[in-house]
Amino acid sequence: MPRRRTGQPGSQVHKAIVLTSLATLLAALAASAAWFRARVPPGCADQRTIALVRQSLITHNHLPPATTLDDIRTVAGGWLALRFVCTAEIAGVEPHDLPPGMPLPGQVRYTSRLSPDGNRHDVTVELQPLLIWEKAQ
């Protein structure tokens, strides 16, 4: 009966080293994912994000308090994202409620991210007017 030497690829020591290395790698990946996941900003449809977007639309863009967001979509971002880029349709705005000369708002594009220290939720908001197609003469 032939005896195996300990340095051969099929030996128990080699298997133990490979399995230990794989377990260590998987543990490091899981720890990294958990660390990143703890620092992911609130998503596009999160109520905290929507509240900050509405606050910006009402205070900075002078939209009426009845303004709401419909059809919220995530353009960029995911499970381990450092920021989310989102779009939404503006609803609840009547033309007579707007300041004079302001075009009817159509869509809002916003970015949700955490501050560099991770303590504050920041939202950047960009309002896009509603485009109305008219026949040119």
Tens-digit pLDDT profile for residues 44-57: 888 988 898 999 88
Q: What is the mean pLDDT of residues 9-28?
A: 78
Confidence grade of residue 7 (pLDDT, cut at 50, 70, 90):
low
What band does 30 get if pLDDT is binned at 50, 70 and 90? Answer: confident
Q: Is 2 exposed, middle or buried (0-12, 13-18, 19+ CB in 10 A)?
A: exposed
Task: Specify the DSSP class assigned to residue 32.
Answer: H
* pLDDT > 90: percent of the chain: 5
Q: For residue 2, is pLDDT > 70?
A: no
Q: Where are the domains of the chain?
A: 9-38, 47-129
Say yes or no to pLDDT of 137 above 60: yes
First-to-final CA distance of the chain: 98
Percent of the chain with pLDDT over 70: 80
- Mean pLDDT value across the chain: 79
**pLDDT at residue 39 is higher than 80:** no
Global pTM reads 0.64
Mean pLDDT of the region 58-69: 85
- Alpha carbon separation from 50 to 29, 44, 77, 110 (Å, rounded): 32, 7, 16, 10
